[in-house]
Chain A
Amino acid sequence: MFKQITNLNGDEIYLIASLWVFLVFFVLVACMLFWMKKDHINHMKDIPFDDGESKKESNQSLQK
């Protein structure tokens, strides 16, 4: 199975370079995630529930 990614007649550089590019990209994203604050994450998660309209609806239903 691995012959198909190792036996490339000298063109392995494209494959190896591409994988390195991804690894660097992945590590950068992972670092950003690591430093994120929990309060911001909670705020972002709740955005769909805070659309102005929902608040109004729930206020209206409370009044009823």
Chain B
Amino acid sequence: MQLEQFKYDNKIVRNFGIATIIWGLVGMSIGLLVATQLIWPEMNFLNQYTTFGRVRPVHTNAVVFAFVGNAIFMGVYYSMQRVLKARMFSDLLSKIHFWGWQLIIVTSAVTLLLGYTSSHEYAEMEWPIDVAITLIWVVFGVNMFGTILKRRERHMYVAVWFYIATFVTIAVLHIVNSIQLPVSFWKSYYVYAGVQDALVQWWYGHNAVAFFLTTPYLGMMYYFLPKMANRPVYSYKLSILHFWSLIFIYIWAGPHHLLYTSLPSWVQSLGVVFSIMLIAPSWGGMINGLLTLRGAWDKVRTEPMLKFMVVALTAYGMATFEGPLLSLKQVNAIAHFTDWIVAHVHVGALGWNGFLTFAVLYFIIPKIYKTPLYSKKLANVHFWIGTLGILFYAIPMYWAAVVQGLMWKEFTPEGVLKYPNFLATTLEILPMHMMRAVGGALYLTGVIIMTYNLIKTMKAGKLVADESAEAPVLQPVVKSEPTKHRRLERKPVLFMVLALVAILIGGIVEMIPTFTISSNVPKIASVQPYTALELQGRDLYIREGCVNCHSQTVRPFRSETARYGEYSKAGEFVYDMPFLWGSKRTGPDLHRLGGKYPNKWHFDHLLDPTITSPGSIMPAYPWLIEQTLDNNLLDKKMNAMRVLGVPYSEEEIQNAFTDLRKQADEITTDLAANQVEIRSDSEIIAMIAYLQRLGKDIKAEAPEAVEEIVLSDN
């Protein structure tokens, strides 16, 4: 049999590895900053570019797309070359992929801090960056499929299936979730509104977790764990069942993020049922990983990277048990909008993604530098300090969630809310937030130790940029293979198409009826489009990232209707592009805020929240008073809204500036009557106009027009 000589590209693996470490340090440091901002508002530094609402998306995107993203590419580029016995298809494409991705990360961080945000969670970047992500993802796909096509191993190992599913599903998710109508280079509106936008966002958001944070990592687990343990995967059959069941079921589960909202109840129920079913493939994968260590548990004692792997798999098992648990409506009613969700996400991110990444780094760097790890002792220190960090992070967050969730729902024997002031529930959990920050600091310390250890390892060795290898030439298939899956394993394009079909079914079943059957979003006659000033105010609300702390959807519970007012209906959001329901209540829900307080209260609250709410941890927004409202894009924004279906008349658009000034003058006059002198063209006036509009339209209609369903909390 003829052997071919070739070389693996280790340089690109090293580059992605270094980027993983750098962005990990950056993303986690920013995480520590936002954790302290949730204890001491002074940590916002009274500066718009360092305020929580803008910094928090930088943290999430830095960790997900910069740290985890680079780790995925590091693991994929290392393992794929070896299981396919081929160098990457094109060195040029590898370089474009690497530098393009880093450019996207830097641009995203800068623009998010500048306030250019679409507000869709985990996809906040504006449309030019979305386009750039698409292009670089295509480069990655071409490079990956090019490598698959020139492979010297006929059948694709299970890791490659997970990489293919990741590529195709992220492409679909990103494109569907990014369909926006640009107004300018850094401003756009989603084409979806309200309930439909919420469904698209959480279909994307949940499956970004599935296909960016999970499937590529499972692929890496199936390659690196056998290599580290020096024994094959426990059950190859289980890996096949794991793969197909996981990608098929995962895509349906997104609506569990929207339980008790105005999303049609049948979509919510589909999300619940498939979330519970998801335990089976998730745990199948975890068990397959842990059982791969059968007979090799003694190595776990001596090999730090295997320790990291075991905790990563355990965290995966915990997070994938907790996910279905949280999707049960009874649990969700208490846990949603609390720190439980934050804890759940971080068990996955710190435990599963973080620890698996560290294990892979400890495996790859000594391999490609042809030298032993500088210090196993330091790696062990990293392991224990990181594990403690996860515990110190997660346990206080669970505690805070239960305390706050129950406080929100507690009534006195007289039948009134025991804690009517939302702030009282926030202040109660500050000690837990402090412990969480300690946990984050411990985890970050571990990463700094790892960085030192890996730098010393790199210095001790020398990078083998092009590593020699040899493999037999791939011979043409001469006889038919007996089973369908075996044939499928050597047909990458067919494999990709079938994976695409598997992931499309769930999305289609949930989305098409929600978009096309009008009864799913009943119209409410009294709901009117925002005025020009309110629209501007809404864009400021988006720019400042208020949605990171305040929800805008009142669930049909007695505890919520007593606290906030009437529960939210689907028809109220038909002009909300994007929807701003949020996913966390660090502050109270704002959907029924309109008319609740006078304009002066809002002015004081934005100037310094402690004036109206002593002890508040909300940052101050003095720049809203100083800065002049930019109306240059106003007519373009209203025209864009009209294209998207908002019934603005020609006259309303033509008179937009006059109407805006008139409404601003009314608010300014009212503030002047309350001893506040302010220019009517300052940004705060538009913000107040928007906040005063929230949730008011429904009050103009008789309540019998909508069905009353208020659930008891008991």
Question: Which chain A residues have a beta carbon within 8 Å of chain B's beta carbons?
Answer: 1, 4-5, 8-9, 11-12, 14-15, 17-19, 21-22, 25-26, 29-30, 32-33, 35-37, 40-41, 43-49, 51-53, 55-56
Given the contacts A18-B270, A22-B277, A48 and B469 also touching, CB distance less than 8 Å: no
In the complex, chain B residues whose CB is within 8 Å of the CB of A56 = 468-470
B642 at the interface (CB under 8 A from A): no
- Set B157, B270, B469: member contacting A15, Cβ < 8 A: B270
Contacts of B159 in A (CB 8 A): 48
Contact B157 A25 (CB under 8 A): no
The smallest C-beta distance from A58 to any residue of chain B, in angstroms, reads 11
A-B contact sample (8 more), CB < 8 A, given A14-B509, A14-B513: A5-B272, A19-B273, A32-B240, A35-B482, A45-B226, A48-B227, A52-B471, A55-B470
Partner of A48, one of B6, B83, B468, B506: B83
Interchain CA distance A51-B227 in the complex, whole Å: 11
Interface membership of B294, Cβ < 8 A: no
Which A residues are in CB contact (< 8 Å) with B410? none
Residue B486 interfacial (CB < 8 Å) = yes
**What 0/1 readout, one digit per residue, does chain B (445-472) give for beta carbons within 8 Å of chain A?**
0000000000000000000000111110
The total of chain B residues at the interface (CB under 8 A) is 55
Report the minimum CB–CB distance from A43 to chain B (whole Å).
Answer: 7
Instruction: Tell me how far the C-beta of A51 lies from the nearest C-beta in chain B, rounded to whole angstroms.
Output: 4
Give complex CA distance A43, B157 in Å.
10
B330 / chain A contacts, CB cutoff of 8 Å: 1
Q: Are A8 and B269 in contact (CB under 8 A)?
A: yes
A4 and B223 alpha carbons, distance in the complex (Å):
41
> Measured between C-beta atoms, what is the minimum distance from B516 to chain A in Å?
13
With A11-B264, A41-B236: A33-B241 Cβ-Cβ less than 8 Å: yes
For B330, give the chain A residue with the smallest CB separation: A1
B266 adjacent to A14 (CB under 8 Å):
yes
What residues of B have a CB within 8 angstroms of the CB of A33 in the complex?
237, 240-241, 485
Assuming A22-B249, A44-B489, A56-B470, is B241 touching A15 (CB within 8 A)?
A: no
Given A1-B328, A49-B226, A52-B469, A15-B240 contact (CB < 8 Å): no
- Contact sample, A vs B, 18 pairs, CB 8 Å cutoff: A1-B328, A8-B265, A22-B277, A25-B244, A29-B241, A30-B241, A36-B237, A36-B240, A36-B483, A36-B486, A43-B155, A44-B158, A46-B232, A48-B82, A48-B232, A49-B232, A52-B82, A56-B470
Q: Which residues of A contact B469 (CB under 8 A)?
A: 51-53, 56
B157 touches A53 (CB 8 A): no
Verify A8–B266 contact, CB threshold 8 A. Answer: yes
B155 to A36, Cβ gap below 8 A? no
When the two chains form their complex, are residues B233 and A15 in contact, meaning their CB atoms are under 8 A apart?
A: no
Instruction: Please give me the 6 A-B residue pairs with the lowest Cβ-Cβ distance, nearest first.
Output: A52-B469, A11-B266, A51-B82, A45-B232, A32-B485, A47-B157
Q: Which residues from A are CB-within-8-Å of B266?
A: 8, 11-12, 14-15
Chain A residues positioned under 8 Å from B506 (CB to CB): 18
Contact status B483-A32, CB under 8 Å: yes
B62 at the interface (CB under 8 A from A): no
Q: Which of A1, A8, A29, A51 interacts with B244 by CB under 8 Å?
A: A29
Determine whether the beta carbon of B483 is less than 8 Å from that of A35: yes
Chain A residues in 8 Å Cβ range of B484:
32, 35
Are the CB atoms of B8 and A53 closer together than 8 Å? Answer: yes
Q: B502: CB under 8 A from chain A?
A: yes
Q: Which of B373-417 contact A (CB under 8 A)?
A: none
The residue in chain A whose Cβ has the minimal distance to the Cβ of B273 is A5
Question: For B155, B233, B266, B506, which residue has the most chain A Cβ atoms within 10 angstroms?
Answer: B266
Q: Which residues of B contact A12 (CB under 8 A)?
A: 266
A29 touches B240 (CB 8 A): yes
Min Cβ gap A26→B in Å is 7
Residues of B within 8 A of A9 (CB): 265
Contact of B248 among A15, A25, A40, A49 (CB under 8 A): A25
A32 CA to B265 CA in the complex, in Å? Answer: 36
Residue of B nearest to A29 (CB): B244
Q: Cβ of B153 < 8 Å from any Cβ of A?
A: yes
B252 within 8 A of A: yes
Q: Contact flags (1/0) for B156-185 with A, using CB distance below 8 Å?
A: 011100000000000000000000000000
Q: Decide: B482 and A4 in contact? CB cutoff 8 A.
A: no
Tell me, in angstroms, the Cα distance from A13 to B136 when the chains sit together: 41
Is the CB–CB distance between A4 and B269 below 8 Å?
A: yes
CA A32 to CA B236, docked complex, whole Å: 13
Whether the Cβ atoms of B329 and A4 lie closer than 8 Å is yes
The reply to whether A21 and B505 contact each other, CB–CB distance below 8 Å, is yes
Contacting pair B85 A48 (CB below 8 A)? no
Which residues of chain B are near A46, meaning CB under 8 Å? 232
Interface membership of B245, Cβ < 8 A? yes
Are B265 and A25 within 8 A (Cβ)? no
Q: Are A52 and B486 neighbours in the complex by a CB distance under 8 Å?
A: no
Q: A20–B595 Cα gap in the complex (Å)? A: 49
Check A18–B509 contact: CB distance below 8 A: yes
A44 contacts which of B236, B273, B470 (Cβ < 8 Å)?
Answer: B236
Determine the distance from Cα of A57 to Cα of B160 in the docked complex, in whole angstroms: 24
Instruction: Find residues 231-253 in chain B having any chain A CB closer than 8 Å to their own CB.
Output: 232-233, 236-237, 240-241, 244-245, 248-249, 252
- A32→B82 CA distance, assembly (Å): 27
* A14 in contact with B329 (CB, 8 Å): no
What residues on B are CB-neighbors of A19 within 8 Å? 273
Q: With A and B bound together, what is the CA distance between A11 and B267 in angstroms?
A: 9
Q: Produce 1/0 per residue, B488-524, CB < 8 A to A.
A: 0100000000000010011001000100000000000
Q: Which residues of A contact B505 (CB under 8 A)?
A: 21
Q: By the criterion CB–CB under 8 Å, are A47 and B153 in contact?
A: yes
List chain B residues, Cβ under 8 A from A37: 482-483, 486
The docked-state distance in angstroms from the alpha carbon of A56 to that of B158 is: 24
Kindly list chain B residues whose C-beta atoms are within 8 Å of the C-beta of A32: 240, 483-485
Chain B residue nearest to A4 (CB atoms) is B329
Contacts of A47 in B (CB 8 A): 83, 153, 155, 157
Q: B471 and A48: CB pair below 8 A?
A: no
- Separation of A9 and B153 alpha carbons in the complex (Å): 53
Which residues of chain A have C-beta atoms less than 8 A from B277's C-beta? 22
A51:B470 contact, CB within 8 angstroms: no
A13–B502 Cα gap in the complex (Å)? 20
Which residue of A25, A32, A47 has the most chain B CB atoms within 10 A of its CB atom?
A: A47
Instruction: List the A side residues contacting B6 at CB < 8 Å.
Output: 52
Name the A residues within 8 Å of B232 (CB-CB).
45-46, 48-49
